[in-house]
Structure 1
Amino acid sequence: MSWRNGHIMGDTNVSDARGRSFRKVGRTVVMLALLAGAGLTLSACGGVRPLYGTSASGESTKAMMAAVEIAPIPGRVGQRVRNELIFDTTGGGTKAPSRYTLKIVLREKVTKEMVLRSGDATGEVVTLDAQYQLVNKADNQVLKTGVATGRAAYDRYDKTFSNVRAQYNAQDRAADTVADSIRTQVAAFLATSA
């Protein structure tokens, strides 16, 4: 113990170490309680299953996805989205007889980024918004509707060809994101509802 400014000071190193160890134990207890609560919540939810396991009807989700026909989408970017979805649903193999049709409408927007004082933009962002419908071919009933969005940025250059190539690359990246999002949403729906 020491005497400082009229107060008796104890061994501060010991009390600080005790305080830190108590806080550490307290945080560990709280984390364990949260993990136990999350485990109980998940165990009570009997509907959790792997996305590409079997569906609620017992059929393979992969086989159900192979039975989805992707309707044509106009434009170069639409063709990119369609091709990605076809490859994702069939794996590049032969297509199963189609039971569903996936109709997609794309909207593209280009936004200027990093605008200089002169008004020139040094970069742009391509945004693709897709609205889709999954239709049952047997009765033409819409089973699911949804939206997917993809964004990709690119730099602008002095050369025209470089700008066009950079924009195409950004469109392709945004299209891949949209296709992946739609595939995941449709697979989740088919796994749980069809």
Structure 2
Amino acid sequence: MIRFFAPLAALALLGGCGLQPIYAGGSNGTVARSLAQIDVAPIPGDEGWLMRNALSDRLGRGASGGGTQYRLDVVLDDQLEGLGLLTDDTIGRERRTLRARYQLVDLSTDTIIVDATAGSDAGIDVVGSEYATIAAEQTALENLTQDVADQIVVRLSRVLRDQGE
């Protein structure tokens, strides 16, 4: 009998812990509407183009039909370094690191709401084909961009949720 009631008791206690979903209310919720009001400033370079597109997709820009309340400024640092040295003094492994420093600016007061960093890295095998290595480096950049964009949006969601409370 205890085996049956123990999970129910745990569920009842979970409701009182204060956890709330970030996206409560779906696309009409406070956080989703606030995210849709963020304009991502242009970011230079190929990695900047990838990052701006990834952020715009995640923020749902234009979905609310509202105006722009915030501006997101992002500065990227993309590094590619050789790691593994083979017996013939060639590089056998590379590490690509993408770091982003970002600021969320409230346009009505021109104040910085968030000033933070996000980053990720990936390992790349250097193979005999230069084309394959370049393709792997590009794929790593695309994946890192998606990961860093996710980190930024989660942080912004938490801050905007806390402001809305």
TM-score (norm 2): 0.82
Unaligned runs of 5+ in 2: 1-5
Which residue matches 1:53? 24
**Whole-Å separation in 1 of the counterparts to 2:133 and 2:87:** 20
| Match 1:62 to one of 32, 53, 65 | 32
Residue 122 and residue 94 in structure 1: after superposition, are their counterparts in 2 closer, same or farther (change >3 A)?
farther
**Whole-Å separation in 1 of the counterparts to 2:65 and 2:77:** 28
Unaligned runs of 5+ in 1: 1-31
| 1:28-177 equivalence runs, <5 A | 46=18, 48-53=19-24, 60-90=30-60, 93=63, 96-177=66-147
**Whole-Å separation in 2 of the counterparts to 1:44 and 1:112:** 51
Secondary structure of the residue aligned to 1:78 is helix
Q: Which deviations, in whole Å up to 9, do the C-alpha atoms of 1:69-120 show, x marking residues without a partner?
A: 1111111111111101101111785763110111111001112232213321
CA shift, 1:153, in A, is 1.8
Which protein shows a greater Rg?
1
Does structure 1 conserve the Cα–Cα contact (< 8 Å) formed by 2:38 and 2:61?
A: no
Runs of 4+ in 1 over 6 A off after TM superposition: none
Q: Which deviations, in whole Å up to 9, do the C-alpha atoms of 1:22-45 show, x marking residues without a partner?
A: xxxxxxxxxx9xxx8xx97x7665
Matched length: 157
**Whole-Å separation in 1 of the counterparts to 2:147 and 2:53:** 13
Residue 78 and residue 166 in structure 1: after superposition, are their counterparts in 2 closer, same or farther (change >3 A)?
same
Among the aligned pairs, what percent are the same residue? 27
> RMSD over aligned Cα, in angstroms?
2.7
Amino acid paired to 2:36? A
**Whole-Å separation in 2 of the counterparts to 1:113 and 1:170:** 16
Residue 91 and residue 137 in structure 1: after superposition, are their counterparts in 2 closer, same or farther (change >3 A)?
closer
TM-score (norm 1): 0.71
